[in-house]
Amino acid sequence: MYNRRKFIGSAAALGIIGLLPSKIVSAGKRKPFLSKANKFPIILSTWSHGIVANAESMRLLENGASVLDAVEKGVMIPEGDPKNHSVGLGGIPDRDGKVTLDASIMDSEGNAGGVCFLEDIVHPVSVARMVMEKTPHVLLAGKGALQFALENGFKREKLLTPESKKVWEQMIKRKNYEPRINWEEKHNDFHDTIGLLAIDGSADMAGACTTSGLGGKVRGRVGDSPIIGAGLFVDNEIGAATATGMGELVMKTLGSFLVVEFMRKGASPQEACEKAILRIVDKVVGHEKYQIGFIALNKKGETGAYSLQPGFNYALSANGENVLINADSYFRK
Ligand code: GLY
């Protein structure tokens, strides 16, 4: 069923020297992870920045932290990394040069929180968690979200770094600028997200998703990441899913909820991710131009991932390893 994807290449090509996983495997070689349940705890997250996020989440889980703390603190690592241009500090700004962030979080009780169009706060995932824990609401936006964050002790910080400003200046010079399909260091204006899912030793699940969204987006644009059911969904009885890529396609199909619902009907996480991508192919006109990737986890500890275009990878931490895996895709090279 799985084609053997090309080995992803050198660490230099990945741009993650110093953040290397213990190994990088192709889709064909990940079968052991898919065909049998992994030993708990298990953490998986989108893209190569997932390696450091997973490592932190796993460290916390192994030291007795809650699964909610583990997912939050895991994604805070890429959020706080100024060299990561798709999440938090140093994110690529919108068309007007402003960095605006979206994030969401869900716990094993079905509680959910999110923030969108948030400026000047490095860790939107923590504000999302506070929305979940301290308000009766699920989503706060823009100035209201910022006010809420400041009232709750978050500090205002400048998110636009000299490097991300430079990328933005190059981007707006290109009249024909279009969102990139995949993370490509040579273009540097890539667009992706970290979505991280975890199941702890008691088989309780949580998830978090955070992004600076599409570089060069129209001011005010919000993607799928803060929308519960689109960028992230967790049902502790069934499983969890999260998405990356062009959020509009995920929003039009409520992708992460759809993945979990396919699992509820008996699909494995892998089958569920593939079916959700097929839904996008069936229903969203123009999908050929964009990338979408889903990852999923079920209550048994089985995992899955699938993308629209080749090039999507994810980090899987289980059975004492933290590996970067090339996902299989609908379109082939
Ligand atoms: N998937 C993140 C976004 O579209 O903003």
Q: Residue 192: which CATH number?
A: 3.60.20.30
In what helix (H) or strand (E) does residue 305 lie, and over which residues does it extend?
Answer: strand 303-307
pLDDT score of 22 more than 90: no
Mean pLDDT (whole number) for 125-137: 98
Nearest-CA residue for atom 5 of ligand 1: 213
**From ligand 1's centre to the CA of 194, what distance in Å?**
10
pLDDT score of 9 more than 60: no
> Ligand 1 site: residues with CB under 6 angstroms?
102, 193, 211, 213-214, 223-225, 244-247
User: Residue 210 falls within a domain, yes or no?
Assistant: yes
**From ligand 1's centre to the CA of 268, what distance in Å?**
25
Nearest-CA residue for atom 4 of ligand 1: 247
Q: What is the mean pLDDT of the chain?
A: 87
pLDDT tens-digit series, residues 195-207? 999 999 999 999 9
pLDDT tens-digit series, residues 154-192? 999 999 999 999 988 888 777 666 665 554 444 444 558
Q: Considering Cα of 154, then 248, then 81, then 108, what sign does the dihedral take? A: positive
User: Residue 12 falls within a domain, yes or no?
Assistant: no
User: Residue 260 falls within a domain, yes or no?
Assistant: yes
Q: How confident is the model at residue 20 (pLDDT cuts 50, 70, 90)?
A: very low
pLDDT tens-digit series, residues 235-282? 999 999 999 999 999 999 999 999 999 999 999 999 999 999 999 999
| β strands within 212-291, DSSP E | 232-235, 239-245
Residue 140 CA: distances (Å) to CA of 99, 160, 213, 246, 275 = 17, 22, 16, 22, 31
- According to the model, what pLDDT value does residue 216 have? 87
- Of the candidates 237, 303, 224, 301, which has an alpha carbon nearest to the alpha carbon of residue 264? 237
Q: How confident is the model at residue 39 (pLDDT cuts 50, 70, 90)?
A: confident
**From ligand 1's centre to the CA of 313, what distance in Å?**
16
CA dihedral 146, 149, 155, 158 (to 10 degrees): -30
The pTM of the whole model exceeds 0.85:
yes
- According to the model, what pLDDT value does residue 3 have? 33
Q: Which of 115, 118, 125, 211 to mutate to test ligand 1, by most ligand atoms within 8 A of the CB atom?
A: 211
User: Residue 10 falls within a domain, yes or no?
Assistant: no
- Give the contacts of 116 (CB within 8 A, at least 6 positions apart): 102, 139, 140, 141, 142, 145, 222, 226, 227
**From ligand 1's centre to the CA of 320, what distance in Å?**
31
User: Residue 137 falls within a domain, yes or no?
Assistant: yes
Active-site residue numbers? 193
- According to the model, what pLDDT value does residue 333 have? 78
User: Residue 257 falls within a domain, yes or no?
Assistant: yes
User: Residue 160 falls within a domain, yes or no?
Assistant: yes
In what helix (H) or strand (E) does residue 79 lie, and over which residues does it extend?
Answer: helix 67-79
- Of the candidates 101, 320, 72, which has an alpha carbon nearest to the alpha carbon of residue 198? 72
Q: How many C-beta atoms lie closer than 10 Å to residue 279's C-beta? A: 18
User: Residue 28 falls within a domain, yes or no?
Assistant: no
Q: How confident is the model at residue 23 (pLDDT cuts 50, 70, 90)?
A: low
* Residue span of the structural domain in which 295 resides: 38-326
Question: Domains in the chain: how many in total?
Answer: 1
